[in-house]
Structures are given as structure tokens and as C-alpha cells.
Chain A
Amino acid sequence: MKRMITMSMVLLISLVSLTFAGDADRDQLFKQGVSAYVGEDYQHAIALFSQLEKTKKVSWELYYNLGNSYYRNGELGNAIRYWEKAKIIAPSHSDIDHNLLIAEKYIIDKVVLPDMFPLFKWYKQMQRQLSLSLNIQIIGALLLILILTLGYIRQAGRRKSKNYKATYITVLSVFLVIITLFSLITIDTAQRRKNEKYAIILENSVEILSEPTKDAIVLFILHEGSKVKVNKNIEDLWSNISYFDDKVGWIHRSAIGEIEE
């Protein structure tokens, strides 16, 4: 029995040490990446941060730093791609928004869209600023508040032998409207995340073709940094993309970097 306890203890300590050792290594690597960036060795910084990315454990800070390193290294497409990745995890972080805004100035392909209907604009903004996790949590919190409020009203009514039916219905209606609104945003965001894939053009200038063959007709040209929607992929060779919904064509997969892989 004693041996078993000792063995278990050793195993547990080893596991904990391994975990912390892993964390320490990661931390070390991240700091090395930061040092390389500060020392203006951007290629080395990219290599170090990419090494962390390969562990399949990521953070918005890692993506953000990769974006900055690519930007300083003159790779606008990759910079935008990684900032977009960071934005999925931390949608409302101002540093990411700021950098994306700066990067937009360098994008050659510019499309001026007409002003959206204010409500639709607000909806899009909400969708962009709130992460899926936060949305789920907000709805949960609203539900919890609703249940506690209704419970309190019921108990108070019973204690005072009064009927708070009107208050009950008002609270219920107001909360249901807000919860429905947030639920719509959440469901829409989740659906879009699931069904819509986006990518960034990584090459300086790339031709978008009518068919997935080299000899196809050139439909239009896109430049580095432009964001496209990936409709479908043919193995690792070709991707069918659309640019602002109305322009659709084929591009070589190596010319784009998908935001969500």
C-alpha cells in the first residue's frame, strides 16, 4: 500500500513538473521571440513565434506578435492574416484594430462600399466586437439575472400576499427581447464561423482565373493583403474564392493564407 502511494506521488509530481516545464519552455521561447523583434531581427522573431504556433497551443498575443513581425519584415499579407487570427480570439482589442487599420492603407485593392443601414451596421459591429465565447456568456448571464429576478418577484409577492403579475410580465418581456437579440447574433456568428472561411492574398500581385487551370482566362487581379472568401478547395492546389461577393474565381492555394485553418 505504502509503495502504491509513493508511486502515485512520484507520478503526480513528474506530471506537474512536466507541465510546468512545458510552460516554462513556452514562456522562454516567447521571450526570445520578443527579444529578436526588439533587436529588429524580424525573421528570427517569425521563426521563434512560428515554433510556438506549431505546438497547436495559441494565444491572441502570439498571433499579434507574428503579425507585427511579418509587417516589419515587409510581408503585408501574412501580417494581416495573423492580426485577423488574433482578432478572432480577442475581437475587441484596440491594438489589433489599430494595426489592421494601418495595414489597410497599404492594400492596393480598395473597394468603397455604400453606407450600411444604421441598424445593420450596429449589428455587424456587435458581431465583430464580441467573441463567440463572450456572446455565450452574456446570454447565460442575462438568463441567470432573469431567473433570479423572477424568483425574487415571486417570493416577494408571496411574502407580501401581493400579485406582481404586471411586473413579472414586463421583466420577462424586456429580458426575452434582449436575450433573443444576443442569441441571434451568437447563432449567426457561430454559423458564419462554421460555414465561411476567409483568406488573405500573400503574393504581391495575383491573377484570379476563370477555371482551376494555368491556361484559364484572367478574370481580375488582386494584390497582397486583400481579404477573400474561400468557397471551396481542390486539394492543395486550387481555391475558389470570392472578393466582395460579386467577383468569383480560382486562385492557386499557395498565393493565399487562410485565416482559420
Chain B
Amino acid sequence: MVKIRGKIGLISIILLFSVMLWGQRVTCTVSKSSFSMQEQVQITFTFEDIKNSPRSVDLKLHNAFSVIGGPYSSTNYSWVNGKSTSTNKVSYDIIAKKSGKILVPAYEFKIKNQVYNTDPIALMVSKSAKIDALDPSIDIPTMFMETVLNKNRVYQGETFSLYYFLYTAENVVNYTTAPLNTLDGFIVDKFDLSNSPKSSKKVINGKEYLIAGIASLTLTPTQSGEFILAQKPFRISVKRSGQARTVFDDPFFGTNTKDINIVAPSDTITVLPLPASAGSAFTGAIGEFTMKVALDSTVIYENQATALKVELTGSGNLEHFTFPQQAFPEGFEVFEPKVKNNYKLKDKDYSGLRSWEYVLIASKPGTFHFDDIAFTYFSPEEEKYITLRSPVKDLRVISHNELEGDYKTALTPDEVRVLSKDIRFIQMGEGKIYDVSYDPVKDHKNWMIYYIAILFILFFIALEIIWKIRMNNMKQIRYKNALKTALTRFHKINDEQEPKHILLEIETAFIDYLHDKQLKDDVHADIPDIKKTIETYKYSPGMLSHVQLNQLKDQALGLIEDIEKV
């Protein structure tokens, strides 16, 4: 009997545990099973009736997905027929890194010696389709991004740009992204998040989108090969109409602002190596350039300086190269070239001008011959190296003996013209004539404007005085006429008028009288009483009778009479 009882007890305990474990399970779900690389989806792990369930999950999806948000965790409790159940959810916002069929693996969770497994999920991710070629049957999101390269194939050292376009059917109020300062294999020339992007409209699959280039990235590759320019996450703030949900949302206009994480898709760039045999005059210039070389003067004196200026104009990677080393004839002290930059990073690369000015000081007399100035650049358009050459005029250095012996002939107009610049021509007539001892400080004409200024100061002072006198006169006039004005107002009051109107008339006449006479409340004991009565009557205009008002009027008139007697 005891044995039977024990068995029943054991069975009961097993059954109880079985019932307890019946509702415990873990599931993994993804918000969409088919989506594009530009879309953000949510992966959720649901822990039903499991105590001490985790608040985060090791996703193990790094090869196929980028996690752009989460973990978001929430717990729900419910009571059914006196029994409580709990559901804990852990979610992540993810975005696909690659297209094709992607399998989300089965996850295993070990909680309090109990093992729970989820089922694997197969997902279909489509590539970032060209916007124009979208299948009309695909329901495209209200907001997505497109990445556009200005060149798909560049040479090593050739500057190119990447543009990030936002397509939106929503009301975008702001957008942000982390700045990009470094990138392996590239020099980041500029990352620009546009404050006021130009926008255009486009209808895609019947939906109207506003397209704006919200950011751009200019890069110069330092290595050759195939490079994947990674996805770029953006945070877009949109204003949506609907009921405001938090106190921070706009409660009056029924709109709220929501931040949406969105990712610009990756793109691939092919960086070609530069051909061999560039020559010594190549220092890494890639683009299209023209060169100008000028010697400051072709005749100088011993120990005098002259300058050789080389100017490069064009577009390309102007920021990333220097001018090739130059050889100068013996007999000159040559300083490091002075570099002047006047170029800007435009839409696709740098364009403008760079110049190198070599200062040469002649240490001995003679005529010197310079080698041609050569500069080699690689032209991506023609896909070959181009060398620019420019001859330099011979430089004549005059010795000091020559200078002292025949100085005048050395400075004849012809000689000056040789020096490429000449003085300007003489003046054909005289303008203002001054005395030799002219002192501008003592010239009254220079101080004329100060006299005018003083006159204006006096004028404004006079205006100020006149205004003050007039104000005083006004007070005096009002003082004299105070009684007359008050009596006239009081006489105008009659019983046919509305009580409210009569009260206003009495108040105006009385208060204005006191003001005009410049009397304060403490002059007469009745003044505060009358003012108080007026104030009291103001709060019950409908209950006022003509009798009360006539009494008030008489009281005010009596007081005025008393004041006038004094």
C-alpha cells in the first residue's frame, strides 16, 4: 500500500514538472523572409515562460548581416484562470551584407540546466537593384539609399567620389551619420554631409520619391585591387502625422518625429595599378595638367636673387604629389621652393593651380644655361604617361665691377625691358598742389567734417531741450485746465447712458484730474476711498444702479471742490 502511494507520488511529481515545462519554449523569428539589401529587418527571440532568460543573444550573423540596432528587450506578464505566464523578447535591427539565400542558424540556449533550441530560418535577400529597373510587383520601402560612384574603375592615386543618395517618400527633418576619416587602402580626401542638399523628384512603382544627395566621400586609392566600399549607416529623422505618443513629441499638431536607421549599400571599385616605366619626372600626378615656367628676370647682378616659377594648372590629384626634383647649374644658391596652392576639391577631384617658386641667388657672373623643366603625369583618359617640357631662358649674371663701371648703361630703358617689366609712364598733368610744409593735421579742410558733426550734436541737443520744454509746458497746461476738463466730462454724464459707460466716464474724469493736478493719494483721505469704490463697482457692472453712480459722481465732484478750495 505504501509502495503504491509512493509510485503515485512520483508520477504526480513527474506530471507536475511535465505541465510546468509544457509552455516553456524559445522561438526565433525575422520580421520579413524576403527583402532587399537596403532594407532593415528585425530578428526576435521569444522566451516563453522561462525564468532568467537572457537579455541579449550572440547573433553569430556577422558574415551575412550588420547589426544596426539592439538588443531591445521587453517582458509581458499575463494571468489566465489564476495562472501567470511570462514572455520575454529580445530583438535586433539587422541589415543584410550580401544578397542571395541566407540561413539564420538554429540557436541553442541552456537555461538552468534545460536546453532550448530554435528552428533555422531561410531568408531571401535581393541585391540593391537599380532604382529604375525595380520589379513593379516589389513593394519598395518608403525610404532607402543608393550609392553611386563617379568612376567604377580608377588608377592607383586617382581621386574619385562616392555619393550617397536618399530616396524618401516621407517628411525628412534631419539626418546624421558618423564621419569617415580613415579607410584601409585609401586616403580620405573629404567626407561631406551636406547641410542643404539639392533634391529632385522621381516616381518609382507609382510612389513619388524625393531624391537628395545627402553625403559624399572623396577618396584616393593607395593600393591596387578590388575594393568593397562598405555600407554606410545613416540615422534619418522623419516627421510623421498621427497621435503623439510621448511628451517629447509635438502634442498640439498631432505629429511626432521618429529616428530611422538606414544603410547605404556597399559598392565595389576596381583600382588598377599604374603602368611601369614612368620616368624620373613622375612623382604621382594623375589627371590632366598644363605647365607654365617663367624666370623672374634674365639679367641679374652678382649676389642678386631671381625666381624660377613653375605653375601647374588642371584637375586631378593635385593634393597628392609634389614637383619633381630639379637640377640647377652650378654658381647658384637654390632654396627650397615656395609652394603656393590655389585649388579646390570639386565634385570629383581637385582642380585649380599649384606653383613652385625656386629662389636662385647668383654667386658668380656669367651666362647660365638651364635644363628644360620636365613634369610627367599619368592621364587616365588616354591611359598613358604624358611628359610636359618647358625650356628656360639663359640667365645673365653681371658682376659688380661691371655694375660700378658702367652703371648707367646697365639701366638704360632697353636693359630694363630685358628684365621683363618696366616702370609705368609719367603723369601728364598735376592734380592737387600742396605746400611743401603742408601738414594734414593743421589743414582745416580735413577737419571740416568734424565741424559738421559738432553742428549736428548741437542740433540734437537743441531738439532734446525743445522736447523737454514742450513736455513741461504740456504739464502746466494740463494743470491749469484740470478742473475745466474734469467738469466738462462730469457734465456730459446723463442717466440715459448705460451704468457701465457712466462708471468709465467718472473714473476717467476723476483719475485724469488727479494726474493733471499731479496729486498723490495721500493728499486727501477720500481719494483712496473713491478709487476703491470705482474698483468695487467695476466687478459688478450689471448690478449698478443710476442712484449709486450719481452718489459716486457727487462724491468725486465734492472732493474736487475741496481740493480746489485748498
Contact = CB atoms under 8 A, between A and B. Distances in A.
Interface stretch (A6-14, A52-60, A232-240): A52-60
Interface in A68-116: 68-69, 71-74, 76, 89, 95, 98-99, 102-103, 105-106, 108, 110
Contacts of B434: 57-59, 89
A141 B336 CA distance: 48
B42 interface: no
A151 B423 contact: no
Interface string A170-191: 0000000000000000000010
Contacts of B443: 133
B419 A105 contact: yes
B449 to A, nearest CB: 3
Interface size class of A (residues with CB under 8 A): 35 or more
Given A108-B304, A133-B440, A144-B452, A37 B432 contact: no
Given A95-B424, A98-B423, A190-B441, A143 B297 contact: no
B229 interface: no
Interface string A41-55: 000000000000000
B450 A143 contact: yes
Given A65-B426, A74-B411, A102 B433 contact: no
B304 A59 contact: no
A121 interface: no
B328 interface: no
Interface stretch (B71-79, B453-461, B490-498): B453-461
A61 B427 contact: yes
A204 B436 contact: no
A197 to B, nearest CB: 15
A99 B423 CA distance: 5
A34 B428 CA distance: 7
Given A56-B436, A133-B446, A99 B460 contact: no
B383 interface: no
Contacts of A103: 423
Contacts of B456: 144, 147-148, 151
Contacts of B381: none
B441 A132 contact: yes
Contacts of A27: 429-430
A30 B424 CA distance: 18
Interface string B405-425: 001111111001001011111
Contacts of B427: 61, 64-65, 95
B433 A57 contact: yes
Instruction: Determine the interface band of chain B, counting residues with CB < 8 A from chain A.
Output: 35 or more
Contacts of B467: 158
B426 A37 contact: yes
Nearest to B452: A144
A54 B31 CA distance: 100
Contacts of A62: 430
A158 B460 CA distance: 13
Given A68-B426, A143-B450, A61 B435 contact: no
B542 interface: no
Interface in A1-39: 26-27, 30, 34, 37
B363 to A, nearest CB: 14
B430 A59 contact: yes
A186 to B, nearest CB: 9
Contacts of A108: 301, 303-304
B305 interface: yes
B136 interface: no
Contacts of B304: 105, 108, 110
B431 interface: yes
B409, B435, B453, B460 — which one has the most chain A CB atoms within 10 A of its CB? B453
A259 interface: no
A136 interface: yes
A22 B320 CA distance: 68
Nearest to B411: A74
| Max chain A Cβ within 10 angstroms of own Cβ: one of B411, B412, B427, B441 | B427
A204 B404 CA distance: 7
B460 A140 contact: no
B564 to A, nearest CB: 32
B260 interface: no
A74 B424 contact: no
B453 A140 contact: yes
B419 to A, nearest CB: 7
B454 to A, nearest CB: 9
Contacts of A72: 413
A136 B460 contact: no
A155 interface: yes
Given A59-B432, A105-B297, A204-B407, A68 B423 contact: yes
20 contacts: A26-B433, A30-B429, A56-B435, A60-B431, A61-B429, A61-B431, A62-B430, A68-B426, A71-B411, A95-B427, A98-B423, A103-B423, A110-B305, A132-B440, A136-B440, A137-B449, A140-B447, A147-B453, A151-B456, A154-B464
A-B interface, 7 closest residue pairs, ranked by CB to CB distance from nearest: A140-B449, A74-B408, A61-B427, A133-B440, A132-B440, A151-B460, A59-B430
Interface of A: 26-27, 30, 34, 37, 40, 56-62, 64-65, 68-69, 71-74, 76, 89, 95, 98-99, 102-103, 105-106, 108, 110, 131-133, 136-137, 140-141, 143-144, 147-148, 150-151, 154-155, 158, 190, 204-205, 261
